[in-house]
Structure 1
Amino acid sequence: MWHPALDLIGKRAGWRVLALTKSNCGPASLTYYQWQLKRAYTECDDWQDWRMETIRQEKAEIVVLAGFFDGGNQGPGKDTTPQVWRDALAKTIRALPEGTKSFVLGAIPSRSASPAECVASNTTDLTRCAVPAAEALPDQSGWSGAAGLTGQTYVDVDPWFCTDTCPAVIAGQLVYSGRFHIAGGYAEYLSGSIEEIMSPALAARK
């Protein structure tokens, strides 16, 4: 979901951007659970091996880590705490090629219902589609903690989505695509903010 932003940054800065993604398979080095199939997501294990080998082969200089963490990533009876998530993310970062610069993007605010559907039903009063920040903002300690443990950069995305409330439309842009992803247009809107944070690494490796 962040690819539209990163693609624009790459074009502006003259970098090639390679997206390595798999549905329900996050950046943290864990054995994930496939809830629909009710079993360990072994395909994700294979994908994670392929991901790291691809990063090594491509000699990636900058890696951006993003994904979804809800405490249930490992399945029934396995509580994926922020500390577990932190350590598994740190494991991923430490496995990257020496000298690779990492940026850890925090999780986006969660929504209990589709913001787009709310906007469609409340076009004259979008305040009805905003939710309190206290209810929507996730625990970011796993993300920030992994960056802290490895000396890499944590990107706090919270201010891009919420103040006291988390609106469904910001600067005329629909923020969400479904409940769990940001819309491509809003990702592009945020590209300048992300590029500003990444600028030292982008400039140093030209």
Structure 2
Amino acid sequence: MCSSDSRTRLLPALVILALLAACGDGQPAPRPTDQPVPRIALAGVLDAVRKAPALRKVPADLTPSIAGAGADLGFDNEKCEVAPAGDRIAEPCVFGDPAGAERVVLYGDSHAGMWLPAMKEIAQRRHWRLEFYGKPACPTPALSFWNQQEQRPFVECGRFRDFVLARVRRSRPGLVVVTNESFAQRTGPGELITPGQWQTGLTRTLRALSPAAGRVVVLGDTPVLDQSAPDCLAAHGSNLAACFTTETEATARVWNAADRSAAGQAGADYISVLPWLCTTICTPVIGNVMVYRNRFHLTATYSRMLNGVLEDALDRSDPAARAP
């Protein structure tokens, strides 16, 4: 018989995920990705984030597990993301309702893929036709990026940006959600992109997208931890505080101010995700859920659990939704 422990009182909706994964009538439990997850209200998420620094040990029912966190992507990245040497995709992966009247585009680097589990939940609920354009290590700002893995100019990234812009101009979606990883991006060997360059490049991209879309929303970057969450928890599971990162340090590594300014200059909206992740402390575990799968990316499990607050934030940014 399945039952909840004291963590259920900490964050009931998040614990539901672990219970769904653990309970069954003698049959293997379905994976959380096989069924809708709770639509948690903002107050519930903020309460869980506020309580998270009080946790001192890894929960016994941590979801995903420490060993499984690194692979918790929530989608087929080999099929849906454009490979490093690629500059286009024959057809984007489509989620939600392929025949839906409302077209939505999610566009960016691996951080766009990181938010895809949450966006998929929203698309299914709202019958959106959600098209995903993602290329890891290829942010959207109109800049010449450096391929850090191969140590050469990342020319495929620029061509992918042009390809996505052409597709958006042709399909004219009602909403484009743009999100990127700004941490440690480079224009050349040892040449870090400055916040000013990032802001200028992103403004240029957003201005190019805006005439072809009903509206454009920039989803802010996630704070960067001091250490990879699974590695740190494996080493310090009995001392969870050893894996905490101060909000000041975690946010100093990303350029959310530049993102916000670029959105303002281009007439786009900006959504900060920081309150969904940190107080003065950013923790790798909230409730019984593993938040990060490394230093920079959310687990699909936690992303999916934020579908409700993301949906509400998108609604608040929509003038039509605010109209009386």
Distance 2:310 2:126 in 1: 12
Code of the residue aligned with 1:130 in structure 2: it is F
- Whether the aligned pair in 2 keeps the contact of 1:71 and 1:81 (CA below 8 Å) is no
Shift of residue 127, structure 1, vs aligned partner: 2.3
Write out the 4+ residue segments of structure 1 that deviate beyond 4 Å after TM superposition: none
Shift of residue 114, structure 1, vs aligned partner: 1.0
| 1:140-184 deviation digits (Å, cap 9, x = unpaired) | 111001111122211111111111110001122111112221100
Match for 1:44 among 134, 149, 157?
157
Code of the residue aligned with 1:12 in structure 2: it is R
The gaps in structure 1 that reach 5 residues or longer are: none
Match of residue 6 from structure 1: 119
The gaps in structure 2 that reach 5 residues or longer are: 1-113
Shift of residue 77, structure 1, vs aligned partner: 5.8
SS at match of 2:188: coil
Match of residue 193 from structure 1: 309
- Whether the aligned pair in 1 keeps the contact of 2:227 and 2:243 (CA below 8 Å) is no
Match of residue 208 from structure 2: 95
**Rg bigger for which structure?**
2
Match of residue 123 from structure 1: 237
Deviates further, 87-96 or 72-81:
72-81
Q: How does 1:70-149 map to 2 (within 5 A)?
A: 70-76=183-189, 78-98=191-211, 99-137=213-251, 138-149=254-265
Match for 2:176 among 53, 63, 74?
63
Deviates further, 24-33 or 74-83:
74-83
- Number of matched residues? 204
Match of residue 184 from structure 1: 300
Distance 1:203 1:96 in 2: 19
Match of residue 91 from structure 2: none
Shift of residue 102, structure 1, vs aligned partner: 1.1
Distance 2:227 2:273 in 1: 21
Supply the RMSD in Å over aligned alpha carbons: 1.9
Match of residue 290 from structure 2: 174
Distance 2:219 2:239 in 1: 31
Report the TM-score when normalising by structure 2: 0.59
Shift of residue 203, structure 1, vs aligned partner: 6.5
Q: Percent identity?
A: 32
Match of residue 19 from structure 1: 132
| 1:94-135 deviation digits (Å, cap 9, x = unpaired) | 111525311111111112321112223333432222111111
Q: Give yes or no for the alignment of 1:156 onto 2:272.
A: yes
Distance 1:51 1:128 in 2: 42
Code of the residue aligned with 1:111 in structure 2: it is L
Match for 1:34 among 142, 147, 164?
147
Code of the residue aligned with 2:270 in structure 1: it is Y
- Whether the aligned pair in 2 keeps the contact of 1:13 and 1:202 (CA below 8 Å) is no
Shift of residue 75, structure 1, vs aligned partner: 2.0
Deviates further, 3-12 or 104-113:
104-113
- Whether the aligned pair in 1 keeps the contact of 2:151 and 2:189 (CA below 8 Å) is no
Shift of residue 25, structure 1, vs aligned partner: 0.5
